[in-house]
Copies of this chain bind each other. A is one copy, B any other.
Amino acid sequence: MDEKDVTILSAVARLGTGSAEKLSEETDIPTSTVHYRLEKLRERGVVTNDLLDVDLEAVGLNITVITEVTAEYSEQYHDDVGEALADVEGVNQVYFTMGDTDFVVIAHLSSRGMVERLIEDYESVDGVEQTSSKFVIKTIKDEPRPLNDFDPETLAALLQPDATE
């Protein structure tokens, strides 16, 4: 797992494709090498399926932080603050919620140092009033393909318009 592997995986994420040819163009790494590397990554379990889902532990992103953020009230602020939070490095999900806290933010990181920077980044966003973070001790479930959260039968019913209420 060296820099070349990361370059490839990063390109996979960016381009949203697993095509060796396209990845080769993007990374300037020869087509067959891309193949070879992806194969190895599969063997090592870093990449878990044909759709190139990446094992977070395997790439060192083994710290997950869930943060609740409250912001000054203003419609414009909320949009801006949300975007700013989403832009913080390592942030994976940002939800604007109803209730006492305004945003829920989930981030994946690889070191304690990065966590500190993360919190600092949150608090330096203009309009942010308060943040409250929880560390994740154990990720029990994190399903990249939400359709897997349902029985096939339930899914079938999902899109019948009459299931909407």
Which of A59, A85, A101, A151 counts the most chain B CB atoms within 10 A? A59
In the complex, A34 has a CB within 8 A of chain B: no
Contacts of A86 in B (CB 8 A): 140-141
Q: How many residues of A contact B (CB 8 A)?
A: 79
A49 touches B17 (CB 8 A): yes
Are A97 and B164 also in contact (CB < 8 A) when A17-B50, A159-B1 are?
no
- Write the A29-48 contact mask toward B (1 if CB under 8 angstroms, else 0): 00000000000000000001
A89 touches B146 (CB 8 A): no
Question: Which chain A residues (59-115) contact chain B, with CB distance < 8 Å?
Answer: 59-61, 64, 66, 82-83, 85-86, 89-99, 101, 103-104, 107-108, 110-113
Are A164 and B17 also in contact (CB < 8 A) when A1-B159, A86-B141, A136-B95 are?
no
A to B CB contacts below 8 Å, 23 in the list:
A6-B155, A9-B147, A10-B155, A14-B148, A16-B53, A18-B50, A19-B50, A54-B145, A56-B146, A90-B149, A90-B150, A92-B143, A92-B149, A93-B141, A94-B139, A95-B140, A97-B136, A98-B134, A98-B135, A104-B136, A108-B146, A108-B149, A112-B165
* Residues of chain A whose beta carbon lies under 8 Å from any beta carbon of chain B: 1-3, 6-7, 9-10, 12-19, 48-54, 56, 59-61, 64, 66, 82-83, 85-86, 89-99, 101, 103-104, 107-108, 110-113, 134-152, 154-156, 158-159, 163-165
